[in-house]
Amino acid sequence: MAEHCNELGQPIGVPLPHWTARRRPPRTAMEGRFCSVEPIDPPRHAAELHAAYLLDQEGRNWTYLPYGPFPRFEEYRDFVEQAASRDDPLVHAIIERRSGRAVGVASLMRIDPAPGVIEVGGINYAPPLQRTPAATEAMFLMMRRVFDELGYRRYEWKCDSLNAPSRAAALRLGFRYEGMFRQATVYKGRNRDTCWFSILDSEWPTLKPAFERWLDPGNFDGAGRQRRSLSSFTRSGPS
């Protein structure tokens, strides 16, 4: 890549003369084949989500989140009502098409329209959603909104460095590891070192068709099991 310099001969970043600030994410649903992803609505979603989270009897889902667990529905309902009133994080419920029930949440957060940077976080998949095509499709739908619909330049994923499943999920979904922020915060009375991952707009044109090929009906057998892994498509690139 050619080096860009200013009039003093100092190296500077690539010029972006046509860049403009992007829109904030809309409060509209994202529709897929296995699921829909829509802004959380407490009267419609809170009870279903709470019931789904109670299936996680050991409370593992809440270990690396700064809030929860919520054993009582009233506590969770109050939490969801507060969350639904905010635009950042913009919390979405994930509705599984097969059951028609809300079985997880994910948020678009730390939204910065000026440089086109946005993060996906607050991901909490109840047991019925975990390791299903809907779980992956939900992440694809949110990526598609960020890059195709809104035109952001950078999509971030951050997690506790000790959260091995989250780190693995980020890599499987095509995020690139960028490093660790040591002693980044304190939550639930303990230290957190935070791992950073990202996808750039320049990487999306290769990543998008890999998701589309993985989500194609032909990639699943009669029992709904994948024939090829998502990683096999992201490694091979588009055909």
DSSP sequence for 83-99: HHT-SSSEEEEEEETTT
Phi, psi angles (nearest 5°) of residue 225: -85, 140
- Cα angle 208, 119, 133 (rounded to 5 degrees) comes to 45
Would you tell me how many other CB atoms lie within 10 Å of the CB of residue 163?
Answer: 17
HEC string of 121-167 equals: EEEEECCCCCCCHHHHHHHHHHHHHHHHHCCCCEEEEEEECCCHHHH
pLDDT value at position 59? 93
pLDDT value at position 235? 75
Residue 104 covered by a domain? yes
Strand partners, 124: 105
Residue 143 covered by a domain? yes
Q: Which domain holds residue 193?
A: 26-236
Query: Residue 74 belongs to a domain with what CATH number?
Result: 3.40.630.30
Residue 43 covered by a domain? yes
Residue 20 covered by a domain? no
pLDDT (tens place) for every residue of the chain, 239 residues total: 568 998 999 998 999 999 999 999 999 999 999 999 999 999 999 999 999 999 999 999 999 999 999 999 999 999 999 999 999 999 999 999 999 999 999 999 999 999 999 999 999 999 999 999 999 999 999 999 999 999 999 999 999 999 999 999 999 999 999 999 999 999 999 999 999 999 999 999 999 999 999 999 999 998 889 999 999 998 754 44
Convert the pLDDT of each residue in 114-128 to its tens digit.
999 999 999 999 999
Residue 33 covered by a domain? yes
Count of structural domains within the chain: 1
pLDDT value at position 224? 86
Residue 5 covered by a domain? no
pTM score, whole prediction: 0.94
Residue 7 covered by a domain? no
Residue 6 covered by a domain? no
